[in-house]
Amino acid sequence: MANKKALVTAATGFMGGSFLAQLLASTDPRIKELSFSTLVRKQEQADVLAAQGVNAILFSGLDDTDFLRRVASEHDIVIHSAHGFHTASSKALIEGLAERKKATGQDVFFIQTSGTSNLGDFPITKRHVHPPGRVFRDRDENIYRYMVSREAETPYGQRTTDVAVVETGKATGVKTYIVMSPIVYGAGLSKSFKNQSFKNRSFHGPFMIQSALAKGQAVYVGDGAEEWGHVHIEDLAAFYEILVSKLLAGEDLPEGEHGVYFASSGTHTWKEFAEATGKAGYEVGALKTPEAVSVPPTAEVFVKLLGGFGTPEQAAMLAEVGFASR
């Protein structure tokens, strides 16, 4: 599969930038033969990436779906890490890949970067609660079918997108793969680009730190007993490299309805997460106590924790599934 072209979105972001950096540094002979492109909004970012041998394409944003469709039609692989809640962009990129497949007669591949909040329950509001001992396994069950059933119950933006990815892939003949990662931590690999405009931090860790600094000590919601997974960004980027390598090698990997992959290397409870934050903050003198404290599981607290994300209802839903679920 020589002379193939790969498009990696959000190369200036924490995850997309890490995936691109990992692929650029790969010693895999198939990956080394790829030509890489990305989408950026600023010329200075395009210049940085061009120096890395990347075709940096200026664009206005994810809402310009006609442009996304056209760009994707010039590529064989798309790794979409820009915005898991933006359904229209994912569909447009898949449709563009379908045009590429029609023109070349070769398989094309779409990799959607997603998260495990799609599967999270709502233990506080009780709108959906997992039974005791519920563990999801990507090899043993059809995660796509589960997401469809949850969508019928309560729509959730990222899950809406993932369902649309599978459905659009089926309709167009594009092979789709959804990578669900839990909490991602560590310094982003795009630090190798040596430009401060590229994001090198994850979301959950810095957010917990900011909340602790604002309150004076680390916090968790409710009893903090629910458990989530985690993965280091270097391990996650390595997973993407392996996935791309296998696709280029022509391996028959599960795709579409069966192409949902978990990427986790361990688990923790929310209370343990807060306690680790409190201990680290205390050790460096940023917090006066290493103790973590529970905050009430109310919509008002959720809105405050999220810094006014969206409507109060959206903030409450995201905070519960993102900081208290299992």
| This prediction's pTM | 0.92
User: Do 197 and 179 touch, CB atoms closer than 8 A?
Assistant: no
Q: Helix 233-248 and helix 14-24: axis angle, to 10°? A: 50
**H-assigned helices in 74-172:** 87-104, 143-153, 157-172
Position 84 scores a pLDDT of: 87
Helix (H) or strand (E) holding 282: helix 270-283
Q: In this structure, what DSSP letter does residue 79 have?
A: E
Say what the pLDDT of residue 120 is.
Answer: 87
Phi and psi at residue 183, to the nearest 5°: -70, 125
Could you give all domains of the chain from N- to C-terminal order, each with its CATH number? 5-188+228-266 (3.40.50.720), 204-226+268-323 (no CATH)
DSSP state letters, 143-156: HHHHHHHHHHHS--
Beta strands in the chain (DSSP E): 5-8, 35-40, 55-58, 77-80, 109-115, 175-181, 183-185, 219-221, 227-232, 260-262, 266-269, 293-295
pLDDT of residue 83: 83
Residue 17 contacts residue 193 (beta carbons within 8 Å): yes
What distance in Å separates the CA atoms of residue 316 and residue 125, rounded to the nearest whole number?
10
Residue 108 is classified by DSSP as -
Note down pLDDT in tens along the chain; length 326 residues.
448 999 999 999 999 999 999 999 999 999 999 999 999 999 999 999 999 999 999 999 999 999 999 999 999 999 999 988 899 999 999 999 999 999 999 999 999 999 998 998 887 778 888 888 888 888 889 999 999 999 999 898 999 999 999 999 999 999 999 999 999 999 888 877 776 678 888 877 888 888 888 888 998 887 888 888 999 999 999 999 999 999 999 999 999 999 999 999 999 998 999 999 999 999 999 999 999 998 876 666 666 665 555 666 666 677 777 777 76
How far is the C-alpha of 285 from the C-alpha of 280, rounded, in Å? 9
